[in-house]
Amino acid sequence: MSVAGKAAAAAAIAPGVFLHTMGNAAPRAEAVTDDVRYGMLIDTSKCADGCSDCVSACDQENGMDLLIKPQGASDEDWARQKPRWIRTVKVQDNLTGKVTSLPMLCQHCEHPPCVDVCPTGASFRRADGLVLVDRHTCIGCRYCMMACPYKARSFIHENVQLQRTAVPRGKGCVESCTFCVHRLDHGGSTTACQDACTHDAIVFGDLKDPDSRISKALAEHSSTQLRADLKLNTGVRYRGI
Amino acid sequence: MKKIQYREWGIEAPRYWGLLAVLGAIIAVAGFAVLHMEHEGHWVTGMNNQIVWGTPHVFAIFLIVAASGALNVASISSVFDQKLYKPLARLSGLLAMTLLVGGLLVLVLDLGQPARLIVAMTTYNFKSIFAWNVLLYVGFLGIVAVYLFTMMERKANSYTKGVGVVAFVWRLILTTGTGSIFGFLVARQGYDAALLAPMFIIMSFAYGLAIYLLVLMFTFNSEGRALGDKILGRLKSLLGIFVSAILYFVLVYHLTNLYGTENHEYEAFILLNGGVYTATFWVGWVLLGMLVPMAILFHPALGNSRGGIVAASLLVILGGLAAMYVIVIGGQAFPMPIFPDKIILESGFHDGVAGAPLYYSPSLPELLLGIGGVTVALTVTLVAVRMLKFLPASLADEVVDPHHG
């Protein structure tokens, strides 16, 4: 399923089937700089209970829907071992009893513990704020998975038959949400989860651009980091939690 | 001062080769398990995206910790000038190397990409304690090899003390680094404690010595070599003290944790309602791993009997494995406090719904890999003592201390 499209959108060509394309531009010509910092604001009050559109979109965009349970594995084991970059979590406040749904993903911290602990430097933070894994250097030790305070990373436990050319993966390496870097590096500016969310709960953009939708939204209402006491300065912020 | 005689391990050839055949068979089975894991992927193990380090790491970290502690006996003789321990030093250095190799073997073979070991050895992120550990572990092997050389080559004997000091300091740094693997993790409630580094050091003292005692007694008894009570008495008393020290660290760790309300759920998990982890902690680590061995070793009759010393050493080792299980796996099983003032009702990625521990069940390939590492360490040790003069010819009381009344 290789892609060589020109349009910038993910067009639905049949129910549940998306024609995925990358951005319309050529790959970046210059190195990324820290003039941009990508981030995300999640408004949990808009996240609908029972909805997992962001999860399905991410699975499709990043090739996780192509992974099949290894023959001989139980369904429960596969559920625990298959990768997941974004997940929905439903929580209830201990005091008020209020129930909130929210998507949980890699927080793209400014001071990522996963980058600190990676012995080979495969887990790294790009200048524009994306925290990624260099799959050439990853030795699969899973120390980053131990270190991540958000349990955002996944390990590939099985041989991979089908994958998207834009999102390569292999057995024995660790991966997590890339903020759809393959789109961003080809002229795109949105993530699959943001595009898929019909409730407008996910806003993605440039935190350093004061005119971006996310910056304005952050300025307008208060938001918080998860596990703020760790002082990681996450790129993902939550409102309503 | 009479010169110490060393002699190769001399049990009869059929017994020796029979033993190697059995050990070789175990290694072969473990080897098949490793090939299976590497070929299929980690889905064949009990490890998953929630419990990422499992039984192999329990064995590997135990072996690595014990390896640095096994060098203690040599350090006591070289660095602290205790002449009584001098004949024991060569075996101590050997065990330090073989246990470390066994542990590292398990770690490397569990990697998702073991063929990329060369990447791990050439590409470093020096903020990672893992990266430092690669250098510390490999350096340790080199330094102990030199240390052994200074002991075994008569013309180099004058360098033993100097190299011994370097080796002693190096292993303290190494074990601190091993404990810091967990101590540096802010993410998890059970880790993120500076105490873990010195706790690992004191654990290394006990586990290394317990293994040393068992190997010493086995090699000597199987050949009928004289092993006097004087030397055994010293070693078993040391073991008792080291185990008591571990108990102190465990007490400090948990009592300190219990003081802070934020840790109460984690402490309840380990001490009360964590199921297998609670049982492993109390029965495996505390009772069998510390209290019973202490009772044996400090008992006037039991502590001086060969059977008692063997039992205590075996229990200390069992306790060490239990400790690693609680620390490594229990520490991961307790869900992370991502939403501290909320309870998780549902999660699409196993986030500890209703505070339930994350699921892990040890699998056969993992167990075989761990046992394989132990067996490799043991096999290399036995081959080495057979081929080279690591073992003193006699440890009878009159030989060990001729001035003894």
Sort out which chain B residues have CB atoms less than 8 A from A171's CB and list them.
41, 112
Per-residue pLDDT at B58 exceeds 50: yes
The CA-based angle A114-A236-A168, given to 5 degrees, is: 55
Nearest CA in chain B to A175: B49
Identify the pLDDT of residue B403: 67
Sheet containing strand B342-347, strands side by side: A99-105, A86-93, B342-347
In angstroms, the CA B254 to CA B272 distance is: 12
Element (H, E) at A124: strand A123-125
In angstroms, the CA B27 to CA A45 distance is: 57
Identify the pLDDT of residue B1: 52
Torsion of CA A78, A80, A86, A90, to 10 degrees: 120
In angstroms, the CA B192 to CA B315 distance is: 28
Nearest CA in chain B to A142: B52
Sort out which chain A residues have CB atoms less than 8 A from B49's CB and list them.
80-84, 145, 151, 153-155
> Given the DSSP bridges, would you call strands A202-206 and A38-43 parallel, antiparallel or unpaired?
antiparallel
Sort out which chain B residues have CB atoms less than 8 A from A155's CB and list them.
42, 49, 52, 112
Nearest CA in chain A to B131: A119
Sort out which chain B residues have CB atoms less than 8 A from A156's CB and list them.
41, 112
Q: Where are the domains of chain A?
A: 35-239
Which tokens sit at B59?
């064995």
Torsion of CA B309, B311, B317, B320, to 10 degrees: -100
Of B111, B346, B351, the CB nearest to A139: B111
User: Which is nearest to B292 in space by CA: B317, B267, B271?
Assistant: B317
Identify the pLDDT of residue B222: 97
Identify the pLDDT of residue B399: 84
In angstroms, the CA B252 to CA B179 distance is: 16
A120: left (phi over 0), alpha (psi -120 to 50) or beta: alpha
CATH of region B19-241+365-400: 1.20.1630
In angstroms, the CA B285 to CA B251 distance is: 12
In angstroms, the CA B137 to CA B141 distance is: 7
Residue B12's CB is within 10 A of a number of other CB atoms, namely 10
Share of chain B above pLDDT 90, in %: 95
In angstroms, the CA B281 to CA B322 distance is: 7
Residue to substitute from B52, B118, B345, B361, interface A, most A β-carbons within 10 A: B52
Identify the pLDDT of residue A4: 40
Task: List Cβ neighbours of A129 (8 Å cut-off, separation of 6 or more).
Answer: A34, A36, A37, A38, A39, A108, A110, A207, A235
In angstroms, the CA A150 to CA B336 distance is: 8
In angstroms, the CA A57 to CA A191 distance is: 9
Per-residue pLDDT at B259 exceeds 70: yes
Sort out which chain A residues have CB atoms less than 8 A from B120's CB and list them.
119-120, 139, 141
Identify the pLDDT of residue A15: 61
Secondary structure of B102-169 as H, E, C letters: HHHHHHHHHCCCHHHHHHHHHCCCCCCHHHHHHHHHHHHHHHHHHHHHHHHCHHHHHHHHHHHHHHHH
Q: Do B53 and A52 touch (CB under 8 A)?
A: no
Residue A13's CB is within 10 A of a number of other CB atoms, namely 8
Task: List Cβ neighbours of B45 (8 Å cut-off, separation of 6 or more).
Answer: B37, B54, B363, B365, B366
Q: How confident is the model at residue B405 (pLDDT cuts 50, 70, 90)?
A: very low
Q: Do A139 and B131 touch (CB under 8 A)?
A: no
Q: Does domain A35-239 have CATH number 3.40.50.720?
A: no
Task: List Cβ neighbours of A222 (8 Å cut-off, separation of 6 or more).
Answer: A239
Please tell me if residue A137 touches chain B, with a CB cutoff of 8 Å: yes
Burial (CB < 10 A; 0-12, 13-18, 19+), residue B217, is middle
Q: Do B125 and A99 touch (CB under 8 A)?
A: no
Average pLDDT over residues B272-281: 97
Identify the pLDDT of residue A17: 54
Tell me: the pLDDT tens digits for B295-319?
999 999 999 999 999 999 999 999 9
Q: Which of A122-126, B110-114, B399-403 has the lowest mean pLDDT?
A: B399-403
Q: Do B349 and A87 touch (CB under 8 A)?
A: yes
Please tell me if residue A153 touches chain B, with a CB cutoff of 8 Å: yes
Return the residue matching tokens 């060589």: A4
3-state secondary structure of B343: strand
Of B43, B116, B185, the CB nearest to A77: B43
User: Which is nearest to A53 in space by CA: A201, A175, A189?
Assistant: A201
How would you write the pLDDT of chain A (241 residues) with one tens digit per residue?
344 443 444 455 556 555 555 555 678 888 999 999 999 999 999 999 999 999 999 999 999 999 999 999 999 999 999 999 999 999 999 999 999 999 999 999 999 999 999 999 999 999 999 999 999 999 999 999 999 999 999 999 999 999 999 999 999 999 999 999 999 999 999 999 999 999 999 999 999 999 999 999 999 999 999 999 999 999 999 999 9
Identify the pLDDT of residue A6: 39
Shortest alpha-carbon distance between residue B60 and chain A (Å): 13
Shortest alpha-carbon distance between residue A143 and chain B (Å): 8
> Given the DSSP bridges, would you call strands A174-175 and A11-14 parallel, antiparallel or unpaired?
unpaired
- What is the length of chain B? 405
Identify the pLDDT of residue A5: 40
Of B134, B350, B359, the CB nearest to A119: B134
Please tell me if residue A81 touches chain B, with a CB cutoff of 8 Å: yes
Shortest alpha-carbon distance between residue B207 and chain A (Å): 25
In angstroms, the CA B278 to CA B270 distance is: 5
Contact B85, B221 (CB under 8 A): no
In angstroms, the CA A82 to CA A73 distance is: 11
